[in-house]
């Protein structure tokens, strides 16, 4: 009661009535009157006076427990989804992995085993196709009945997940035929690998050179190529973790041509940079400090203006949403594998807990509007990945996934402050947010209340997604 309900399209003073797991009404203010004896008719009343009432965050790009570079992402489905809950995210879409030679069904079954009964919030899967061949191509359409309506390929990482143009073309033909959304890690991996090898041979082994090897041209080129393959086939295309302004330009051109081409960026590409972070030094880690920020695509040069351009693209809808690519690794025993050779640093940053806050700070600084914040972090993710109606909106019939956000609160991010991800450091140390996640409701159950976790492992259920609701 008493709050301001914010959607992608506007804000309104309203009370929200929830019955069980579902929103049943959005009512004129005062319809639910505080102080009356409502226990019999209404049950619990939560006072949201002076606060924003928003649909729970949807992080459509996470990697709990992802095997990478001889180790695995340090958050389990249990720890990672709990951290998500603390940060106001009530749904994640993670990636089931199919490796080369493995059956898609087996890869998917394994990921269901990892997540089932473990999650604090609802979760869905995209399917990574690590080996495009006649078997995996034949399996793709069967994913739709499983509630998995998007699959990802990699133009990077030769020898691991890599797909070449012929493979991508064939998979995109299936995507066009079925409506499955093609997701793409768009970086030219073979080119990057040569540049990286040459840097290491010349003695340039620090984390900083991860960013120097993964040049923006490799992102622009791969993004363009993916767009052209999508144009040939008619496949809808979603480019993950866009960080180069030149890649955004490619997306914008394709969208102006009327193509179903979309892109996400991540908080790290809005806030962090090659110079300040990949190039950082600390007393504890020396120049290896930058390993905390090794992710792909890499942090880009602020001097080149990529970060400002990402914010702009979020305003103009050249980029449609913000996910985290949450893929945490500890420094000790994990990132450390790449001391002396940046190529062996496992790629990834942990952010699932902080996305809602970091993006809200963009509202405070005037980069985006309050409504756009909701759209980028919840409503568009729901529509893009076929969950809208149940998720991404506060309206009758929707799951009661609701966050009460206090614009007068404050959040200090840091390892010894707000930190619940299973890591030994925070990539977001020292970030101050002029806002606070007060209450998090997942399908009608209060799971976080003023910093206290009230949920239980297994509260989160698998979300069977429909086809994308965002296509033109």
Select the span of 79-87, 96-104, 265-273, 318-326 touching Zn ion (CB under 5 A): 318-326
Residue in 15, 94, 122, 325 binding Zn ion, rule: CB under 5 A: 325
Choose the contact partner of 426 out of Zn ion, ligand DUC, none; CB within 5 to 8 A by kind. Answer: none
Closer to ligand DUC at the Cβ: 72 or 167? 72
Residue 104 Cβ, how far from ligand DUC at the closest point, in Å? 19
What is the spatial distance between Cα 23 and Cα 391, in angstroms, rounded to a whole number?
Answer: 11
Complex with ligand DUC: residue 328 or 460, whichever CB lies closer: 328
Number of residues in contact with Zn ion under rule CB under 5 A: 2
Q: At its nearest, how many Å lie between ligand DUC and the CB of residue 170? A: 22
Report strand pairing: 321-322 vs 261-265.
parallel
User: Hey, which residues between 56 and 95 contact ligand DUC (CB under 6 A)?
Assistant: 63, 68
Other C-beta atoms within 10 Å of 28: how many?
10
Burial class of residue 195 (count of CB atoms within 10 Å of its CB; 0-12, 13-18, 19+): middle
Listed in sequence order, the residues at least 6 apart from 392 whose beta carbon sits closer than 8 Å to its beta carbon are 55, 58, 378, 379, 380, 381, 382, 383, 398
Minimal distance in Å, beta carbon 310 to Zn ion?
16
By the rule CB under 5 A, 185 interacts with Zn ion: yes
Contacts of 202 (CB under 8 A, 6+ apart): none
- Closer residue to ligand DUC (CB): 199 or 349: 349
Which residue's CB is nearer to ligand DUC, number 241 or number 461? Answer: 241
Q: Is 353 in the site for Zn ion (CB under 5 A)?
A: no
Nearest to 129 by CA among 118, 141, 119: 141
Provide the minimum distance between the beta carbon of 101 and Zn ion in the complex, in angstroms, as a whole number: 21
Q: What is the length of the chain?
A: 472
DSSP result, 30-84: TSS-TTS--TTTT------TTSEEEEPEEEEEE-TT-EETTEE-S--HHHHHHHH
Binding flag, residue 185, ligand DUC (CB under 6 A): yes
Site for ligand DUC in 272-331 (CB under 6 A): 295-296, 325, 327
Return d(Cα 48, Cα 3) in angstroms, integer: 5
Task: For the chain, report the end-to-end CA distance as a whole number of angstroms.
Answer: 37
Please pick, from the candidates 211, 328, 348, 392, the single residue that binds ligand DUC as defined by CB under 6 A.
348
User: In the complex, which residues of this chain contact ligand DUC (CB under 6 A)?
Assistant: 63, 68, 185, 295-296, 325, 327, 347-348
| Contact set with Zn ion (CB under 5 A) | 185, 325
């Amino acid at each position: 009661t008493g709050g301001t309900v914010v959607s992608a399209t506007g804000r309104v003073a309203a009370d929200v009535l929830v019955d069980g797991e579902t929103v049943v009404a959005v009512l004129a203010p005062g319809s639910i009157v505080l102080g009356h004896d409502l226990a019999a008719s209404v049950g619990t009343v939560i006072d949201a006076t002076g606060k924003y009432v928003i649909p729970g965050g949807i992080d459509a790009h996470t990697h709990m427990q992802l095997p990478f570079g001889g180790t695995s992402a340090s958050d389990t489905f249990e720890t990672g989804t709990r951290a998500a809950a603390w940060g106001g995210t009530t749904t994640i879409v993670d990636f089931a992995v199919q490796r080369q030679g493995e059956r898609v069904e087996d890869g998917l079954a394994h990921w269901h085993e990892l997540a089932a009964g473990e999650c604090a919030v609802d979760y869905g899967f995209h399917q990574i196709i690590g080996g495009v061949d006649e078997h995996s191509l034949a399996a793709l359409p069967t994913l739709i009945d499983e509630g998995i309506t998007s699959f990802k390929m990699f133009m990077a990482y030769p020898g691991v997940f890599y797909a070449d143009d012929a493979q991508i073309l064939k998979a995109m033909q299936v995507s066009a035929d079925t409506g499955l959304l093609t997701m793409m890690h768009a970086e030219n991996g073979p080119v990057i690998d040569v540049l990286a090898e040459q840097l290491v041979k010349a003695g340039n082994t620090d984390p900083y050179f991860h960013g120097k090897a993964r040049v923006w041209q490799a992102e622009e080129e791969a993004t363009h190529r993916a767009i052209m393959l999508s144009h040939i086939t008619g496949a809808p295309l979603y480019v993950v973790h866009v960080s180069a302004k030149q890649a955004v330009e490619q997306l914008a051109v394709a969208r102006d041509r009327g193509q179903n081409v979309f892109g996400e960026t991540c908080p790290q590409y809005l806030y962090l940079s090659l110079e300040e972070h990949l190039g950082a030094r600390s007393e504890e880690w020396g120049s290896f400090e930058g390993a905390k920020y090794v992710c792909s695509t890499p942090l880009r040069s602020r001097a080149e203006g990529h970060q400002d351009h990402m914010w702009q693209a979020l305003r103009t809808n050249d980029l449609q949403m913000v996910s985290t690519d949450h893929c945490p690794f500890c420094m000790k025993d994990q990132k450390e594998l790449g001391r002396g050779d940046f190529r062996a640093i496992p790629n990834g940053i942990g952010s699932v807990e902080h996305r809602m806050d970091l993006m809200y700070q963009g509202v405070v600084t005037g980069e985006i509007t309050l409504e756009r914040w909701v759209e980028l972090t919840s409503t568009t993710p729901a529509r893009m990945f076929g969950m809208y109606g149940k998720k991404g909106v506060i309206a009758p019939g929707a799951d009661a996934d609701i966050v009460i956000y206090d614009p007068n609160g404050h959040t200090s991010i840091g390892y010894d402050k707000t930190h619940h991800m299973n890591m030994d450091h925070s990539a977001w140390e020292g970030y101050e947010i002029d806002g606070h996640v007060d209450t998090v409701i997942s399908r009608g159950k209060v799971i976080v209340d003023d910093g206290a976790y009230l949920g239980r492992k297994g509260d989160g259920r698998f979300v069977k997604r429909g086809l994308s609701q965002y296509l033109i």
